[in-house]
Amino acid sequence: MEKVLFLDFDGPMIPRRAYYLPKQTLIVSKFDPVAVALLNSVLDETGAKLVISSTWGKQGKDIVKPTLEENGISWNRVHEDWVTPRKFSSTREMEIKMWLDKHRDITHWASLDDENLELDGRNVKVSFDDGVQMCHYHKLLELLEVIPEISENTPADNSGAIARINKIIDCSTESK
């Protein structure tokens, strides 16, 4: 079972609030530490690998790899085919779909972006101002199928899973 998370930088990892971090760089490249912690937790819990779907990918591995590592995200967490393909007139949705077409072994995937992407409900949209929040963390776990489905037939002793599902918040209302 192989899982990937398509990651945009500006918005999810570098929200507007990150502009006010101490020692922020002129070309804003310091990630929000809360976003990094939540992302690393998602990767730990799901075993997913990152695929960069950000415009930052155009800068190449020599820029992206140290940017991730300087911000606390190990390059070991990145898929070997680390970036979505870029075509002159392609949209981010098209780039993600092209990448997935090349990697038929992917069983679970999600996208983390500050844009409204039409990806059959697999995009977790954050606000550019606030970036990754707890509701996004829970939604990513759900999309990457870490949270078990709960039905009326779920045994009563599955209270831990039920409590976790009850924590999932509607991100669309929290990110406005």
pLDDT tens for residues 128-163?
999 999 999 999 999 998 765 555 554 555 545 545
Task: Please tell me whether residue 14 adopts helix, strand or coil conformation.
Answer: strand
Interval 5-34: pLDDT, tens = 999 999 999 999 999 999 887 778 899 999
The backbone torsions φ and ψ at residue 78, rounded to the nearest 5 degrees and listed phi first, read -100, 135
The backbone torsions φ and ψ at residue 131, rounded to the nearest 5 degrees and listed phi first, read 65, -150
| Cβ burial, residue 157 (10 Å; 0-12/13-18/19+) | exposed
The CATH number of the domain where 119 resides is what? 3.40.50
pLDDT at residue number 97: 96
Residues, the chain: 176
pLDDT at residue number 27: 79
Predicted structure pTM score: 0.84
Amino acid of residue 90: S
Rounded Cα–Cα distance for residues 21 and 39 (Å): 18
CA torsion sign, 93 to 91 to 29 to 16? Answer: negative
pLDDT at residue number 166: 47
User: What is the arithmetic mean of pLDDT over 24-48?
Assistant: 93
Q: At 86, is the pLDDT very low, low, confident or very high (cuts 50, 70, 90)?
A: confident
Half-sphere exposure of 148 (CA within 13 A, CB side): 11
Rounded Cα–Cα distance for residues 137 and 5 (Å): 12
Residues 6+ apart with CB under 8 A from 41: 137
pLDDT at residue number 141: 96
Q: Would the pLDDT of 41 be above 80? A: yes
Domain that holds residue 121: 2-174
Interval 58-85: pLDDT, tens = 888 999 999 999 999 999 999 999 999 9
Q: Would the pLDDT of 39 be above 60? A: yes
Can you name the residues that pair with 113 across neighbouring β-strands? 125
Rounded Cα–Cα distance for residues 38 and 152 (Å): 30
Count Cβ atoms below 10 Å from residue 173 Cβ, excluding itself: 8
The token pair that represents 64 in the structure block: 């992206």
Q: How many domains does the chain have?
A: 1
